[in-house]
Amino acid sequence: MPSSDVPYDDAAPDPGDGYTRVGAPQLTPLTPEESMNWQRFGIALGVAFLLVLVLDIILSTVILQDLYADAASSWPATPEANPLVSVGWLAVIFTLAAFGMLYTRTGWVGWRRGLEYGVWIGLAGFAGVLGLMVMVPWPVRLALLLGIQQLVNGLVLGLVFGVVYRPPEAAIVERAGQGSSSP
């Protein structure tokens, strides 16, 4: 049971977090159409992917080009790597979609909340790159710049979702407690 001063009733219907606050109004669960604005999610995902794509290409071809050459032993040979580029971009889309879905589930809206979310996601990516440095023989400067790249990607994702994504009206009304959706 979470540590809190708010009492919980484990026998009450589950609103989704595993615990129901005693005396809290029971909300009717929203359908997927009511709880998720798929059109805005798709637009935000597309914009975030395009911005990350452009920033990653600029970073790789302009800023990191010499460092990549210095760390050539860390990368697969070009004939081996070229077929994997599309797999890499699919992984980027999947990652952006997964983190974007997490953002939408928070219920946050607005560029400030998006930026806050992006900072946390970016810091996680930065830490992940530094963790990879233990296994991959990257020069420290390259690892730091790749970590900064992940931090920027997280900021872009959070900012774009904060600006573009809005939950559907039914979710806003339900969350505010001003009404409930019909079953």
pTM of the predicted structure, to 2 decimals: 0.69
Scanning the structure block, which residue is given the tokens 């573009």? Answer: 164
What is the pLDDT at residue 86?
Answer: 83
Give residue-wise pLDDT tens across range 137-182.
Answer: 888 888 888 899 999 999 999 999 999 998 887 555 555 554 444 4
Buried b (16+ CB within 10 A) or exposed e, 15-48: eeeebbeeeeeeeeebeeebbbbeebbeebbebb
Alpha-carbon gap, residue 160 to 168, rounded angstroms: 17
Q: Profile the chain (183 residues) by mean pLDDT over runs of 10 residues.
A: 47 50 54 76 96 90 78 65 80 94 87 94 94 84 88 95 85 54 44
What is the pLDDT at residue 96?
Answer: 94
What the block records as the tokens of 154 is 């997280």
Alpha-carbon gap, residue 170 to 175, rounded angstroms: 9
Q: How many CB atoms lie within 10 A of CB 170?
A: 18
What the block records as the tokens of 141 is 């400067």
